[in-house]
């Protein structure tokens, strides 16, 4: 049995739309092969599209941004920032919070890490020292007072650059 073009059940003649079984009398509703094929193709294309979006997002590198160029519109953006640490990092007493400032050419921002990330940075001695250059990737938080913070989500997103040779003379 096949439903008519209005979407009615072939047995009880109630409107059932595109479903394959009537919810009222449980009669089977045969659909045209074209509709069935379109549904299968649509599901396949949607699945492939979601996979491609996932892969693109997974392998996308964050944009390298100068600290001076950060604007309030970049709040919550995931960015890559390079700068120099000019002061010793702050470690909270219970060691669940770490903070340090990185300086660009004209501006600076605070980098913060919480809980497990802070604990890992402290325990593995991954914190930068005064004068070291760093590359940091994380989420920006630009407050109403234009105070800029970068949240470090994983210790892997902090790289200390050691290409500055120290002279002993």
> Do the Cβ atoms of 111 and 155 come closer than 8 Å?
no
Reduced DSSP (H G I as helix, E B as strand, rest coil) percent helix, strand, coil of the chain, to 5: 25, 30, 45
DSSP code per residue over 49-88 = HHHHHHHHHHHPPPEE--GGG--GGGTT-EEEEEEEE-SP
The yes/no answer on whether domain 63-161 falls in CATH 2.40.50.1010 is: yes
pLDDT band per the 50, 70, 90 thresholds, residue 7:
confident
Mean pLDDT of the chain: 87
Give the SS3 label for residue 155.
helix
Query: How do residues 61-105 score in pLDDT, each as one tens digit?
Result: 888 899 899 888 889 998 999 999 999 999 998 888 999 999 989
- From residue 92, alpha-carbon distances to 42, 54, 85 in Å are 53, 37, 18
Query: How do residues 133-166 score in pLDDT, each as one tens digit?
Result: 999 999 999 987 778 999 999 999 999 987 555 5
């Amino acid at each position: 049995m096949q439903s008519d073009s209005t979407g009615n059940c072939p047995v009880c003649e109630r409107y059932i739309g595109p479903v394959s079984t009537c919810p009222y009398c449980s009669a089977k509703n045969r659909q045209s092969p074209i509709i069935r094929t379109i549904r299968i193709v649509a599901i396949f294309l949607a699945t492939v599209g979601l996979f491609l979006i996932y892969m693109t997002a997974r392998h996308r590198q964050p944009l390298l941004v100068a600290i001076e160029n950060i604007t309030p519109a970049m709040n919550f953006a995931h960015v890559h920032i390079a700068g120099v640490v000019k002061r010793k990092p702050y470690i909270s007493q219970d060691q669940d919070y770490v903070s340090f400032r990185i300086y660009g050419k004209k501006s600076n921002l605070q980098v913060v890490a919480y809980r497990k990330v802070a604990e890992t940075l402290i325990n593995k001695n991954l914190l930068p020292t005064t004068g070291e250059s760093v590359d940091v990737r994380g989420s920006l938080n630009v407050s109403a007072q234009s105070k800029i913070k970068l949240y470090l989500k994983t210790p892997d997103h902090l790289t200390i650059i050691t290409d500055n040779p120290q002279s002993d003379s």
